[in-house]
Amino acid sequence: MKKNKYLIQPNINNSFLFDKVSGFNELNEKINTKVVQERPLTIFLNNQEIVTLMSINDYPEYLAIGYLLNQDMIFPYEKIKKIEYDKDIQTIVIRTKRKTNYEKKMKRKITTSGCAQGTIFGDIYEKLEKTKLRSKTKIKKEWIYELSKKINLTPSLYLEAGAIHGCVLCEKSNPLIYMEDVGRHNAVDKIAGYMFMHKVLAKNKIFYTTGRLTSEMIIKTVKMNISILISRSGFTAWGVELANKTNLTLIGRAKGKRFTLLSGKSRVY
């Protein structure tokens, strides 16, 4: 198989992301092993504190921008005036030309089922009810198999240490942007932030995640205007309901040459 060329992929040589600890294996032998670092990241939008996320914190700028995009706190064509990241106090401030105040919105915060506890604000669900994906993007069954194989063979933090989720932006059978984090919601937000900052268009793109297909993953994929979502994991009932309402193609349990399609069958051939 031809080696895939990513725009960005996991950096398994970044020692900032790991710690080494000692323990014992099943034979009572002493071992040293890698574990993933988990750190808080507090996001400010202008002068307002928005949220503190638990993250591996490898791309704080992408994570912060993507989170705010997917919460409708900044917009696709927003003018970002400045990004200020302070590694010592693990805080990032996104400054926009537009004045912002989301005090009322933040009172409707919902804790999601995402690992490391994700958040969604109540008005997002209301807007999603009116959203219908019109994309004519198609996916061949063969691409599903090829994507799964290429992604599984890519060197990753998961293969190094486990305890982590991955999300990948793809086009046809080619993975393009591969992000990992302790919560799949962070990984997808980092991809959204990368796309925003590097002007990567959603047209003809496919989204792949290693995590469960929950309501939160459906919402974030639809918010990014991507019409096909694939996972090697399973579904929640609400996730399937939202996918059908928004006309999202939802493919789960994608392992080997098997998969389950629960929404948007017209895009698969």
pLDDT digits (tens, 9 = 90+) for 36-91: 999 999 999 999 999 999 999 999 999 999 999 999 999 999 999 999 999 999 99
Neighbours of 96 (CB within 10 A): 17
Residue 213 lies in a domain: yes
Look at the block and give the residue holding tokens 């293969």.
159
Residue 127 covered by a domain = yes
Q: Is residue 28 part of a domain?
A: no
Residue closest to 179 by CA, chosen among 9, 5, 7: 9
Percent of the chain whose predicted confidence (pLDDT) is above 70: 93
User: Is 107 among the domain residues?
Assistant: yes
Q: Give the domain range for residue 163.
A: 1-22+33-269
Q: Is residue 103 part of a domain?
A: yes
**Cβ contact 112:118 at 8 Å:** yes
CATH number (domain holding residue 245): 3.40.140.10
Q: Model confidence over 167-190: pLDDT tens digits?
A: 999 999 999 999 999 999 999 999
CA 217 to chain centre: 8
Q: How many domains is the chain built from? A: 1
* Residue 142: CB atoms within 10 Å: 11
Mean pLDDT of the region 144-153: 96
- Per residue in 213-254, pLDDT (tens digit) is 999 999 999 999 999 999 999 999 999 999 999 999 999 999
What are 23's strand-pairing partners?
31
Instruction: Report the predicted TM-score, pTM, of the whole model to 2 decimal places.
Output: 0.92
Instruction: Check pLDDT > 50 for residue 116.
Output: no
249 occurs within a structural domain: yes
Residue 250 CA to residue 207 CA, distance in Å, equals 10
Q: Give the side-chain half-sphere CA count within 13 A for 234.
A: 2
